[in-house]
């Protein structure tokens, strides 16, 4: 499976084409729109979320609610486009119009953004040409793609959920996850303003987000994605580029502003002995092989172990500040305060939704690559057979 996305933050639409989905997979715009709405939510979101109501249109590859096996194209229209038609239009400007008045040319790169280096790479003197594409707005259609992947995982008996574990040093009590399934965790976080399982920590997170907004600053945090029901043996120890943990790490770091990733207890492993890190192997007739613990996050040797996949990502504070940092004008080389675009004081809750969907895509992709997947019924049968095989191995 693979996909491409196209579109600018203030362009007419965001588009994606997905190739390689099995045929006969149930897909509806309603399910995708639910996930898009979640991405727009979470405490700390900025004014853009009040302007846009993201909804998807399925324009190819699906007939009467099921995939055909051909490429699936999804489109999300930008409602704000009507205010940007002259600024972002594809047509050449008329000769009687002053480009400087229409383009809102940006020559002051913002620290922490792609503005300066992107301008260098592609030769853009107007840095709007960079920020329009490097904007996290692009993650809208990646959530749509991930929503389709989640539909496939659901058919295969695999559940996935994301939640916020930390914002600006305020940590959720991870013990509250004990004994809860992915679906039970989802029921909790979908009712929480910070998508957090710990209501006490969430209340403090809300206060911290409001304080950052009042100060014209931004704050970051940590999100966690949990995948349940994945059979053992997905991925590979044989080839470096087929290791599942490598693919999941790359997916997490592909999200705007994400700067770190870990599995299981992650970097804590550096402070523990081997006997305190590795998961002892158990077996019983009902469950087959399990682990006494899950410190490695459901992955060994680049492969799934059958235990829940647990992957965490850290998001830096959003670099667009209403109290802007110093920068340099690329035209005059004079110091200036960096330019300001609409932004969020904290997008960690929303980013957890993006993380859930990019991880869902990689899990689904790894499954499709490993098994015959032209038709959904064939794929389901193979996954069931794999589960039975590994259980009695």
39 is in an annotated binding site: yes
22 is in an annotated binding site: no
β-bridge partners, 315: 221, 258
342 is in an annotated binding site: yes
391 is in an annotated binding site: no
Q: List C-alpha distances in Å: 50 to 30, 37, 46, 114, 343.
A: 20, 12, 8, 25, 12
In the block, residue with structure tokens 């692009």: 138
61 is in an annotated binding site: no
Q: Which 3 state secondary structure label does DSSP give 312?
A: strand
Under 8 Å between Cβ of 150 and 271: no
Tell me which DSSP letter residue 235 carries: B
CA angle 60, 83, 46 (to 5 degrees): 85
Q: Which 3 state secondary structure label does DSSP give 10?
A: coil
Q: List C-alpha distances in Å: 260 to 170, 190, 221, 308.
A: 18, 25, 11, 20
Q: List C-alpha distances in Å: 4 to 14, 73, 259, 270.
A: 11, 10, 23, 37
319 is in an annotated binding site: yes
301 is in an annotated binding site: yes
320 is in an annotated binding site: yes
99 is in an annotated binding site: no
Q: What is the DSSP annotation of 262-279?
A: EETTGGGGGGS-GGGTSP
φ, ψ of residue 258 in degrees (nearest 5): -85, 130
Q: How far apart are the C-alpha atoms of 198 and 165, rounded to whole Å?
A: 9
257 is in an annotated binding site: yes
332 is in an annotated binding site: no
Q: How far apart are the C-alpha atoms of 147 and 144, rounded to whole Å?
A: 5
Q: Which 3 state secondary structure label does DSSP give 328?
A: strand
2 is in an annotated binding site: no
- Report residue 33 as tokens: 């729109």
β-bridge partners, 77: 13
Binding residues: 39, 45, 133-135, 256-257, 301, 316-320, 342
Binding residues for NADP(+): 39, 45
Binding residues for FMN: 133-135, 256-257, 301, 316-320, 342
């Amino acid at each position: 499976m693979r996909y491409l996305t196209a579109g600018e933050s203030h362009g007419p639409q965001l588009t994606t084409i997905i190739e390689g989905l099995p045929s006969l997979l149930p897909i509806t715009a309603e399910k995708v729109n639910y996930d898009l709405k979640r991405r727009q939510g979470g405490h700390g979101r900025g004014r853009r979320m009040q302007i846009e109501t993201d909804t998807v249109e399925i324009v190819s590859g699906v007939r009467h609610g099921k995939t055909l096996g051909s490429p699936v194209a999804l489109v999300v229209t930008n409602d704000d486009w009507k205010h940007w038609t002259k600024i972002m239009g594809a047509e050449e400007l008329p000769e009687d119009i002053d480009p400087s008045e229409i383009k809102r040319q940006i020559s002051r790169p913002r620290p922490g953004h792609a503005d300066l280096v992107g301008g260098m790479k592609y030769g853009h003197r107007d840095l709007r040409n960079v920020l329009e594409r490097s904007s996290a707005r692009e993650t809208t259609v990646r959530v749509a793609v991930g929503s389709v992947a989640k539909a496939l995982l659901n058919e295969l008996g695999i559940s996935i959920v994301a939640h916020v574990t930390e914002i600006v040093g305020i940590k959720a009590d991870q013990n509250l996850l004990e004994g809860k399934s992915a679906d039970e965790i989802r029921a909790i976080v979908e009712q929480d303003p910070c998508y957090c399982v710990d209501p006490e920590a969430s209340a403090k997170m809300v206060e911290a987000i409001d304080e950052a907004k009042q100060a014209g600053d931004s704050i970051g945090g940590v999100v966690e994605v949990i995948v349940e029901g994945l059979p053992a043996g997905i991925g590979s120890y044989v080839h470096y580029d087929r290791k599942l943990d490598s693919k999941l790490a790359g997916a997490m770091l592909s999200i705007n502003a994400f700067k770190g990733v870990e599995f299981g207890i992650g970097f804590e492993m550096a402070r523990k002995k081997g006997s305190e890190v590795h998961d002892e192997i158990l077996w019983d007739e009902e469950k087959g092989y399990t682990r006494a613990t899950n410190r490695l996050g459901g992955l060994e040797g680049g492969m799934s172990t059958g235990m829940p996949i647990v992957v965490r990502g850290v998001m830096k504070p959003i670099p667009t500040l209403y109290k802007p940092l110093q920068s340099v004008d690329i035209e005059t080389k004079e110091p200036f305060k960096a330019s300001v675009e609409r932004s969020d004081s904290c997008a960690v809750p929303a980013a957890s939704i993006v993380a859930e969907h990019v991880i869902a895509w990689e899990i689904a992709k790894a499954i499709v690559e490993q098994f015959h997947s032209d038709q959904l019924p064939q794929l389901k049968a193979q996954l069931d057979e794999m589960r039975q095989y590994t259980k009695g191995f």
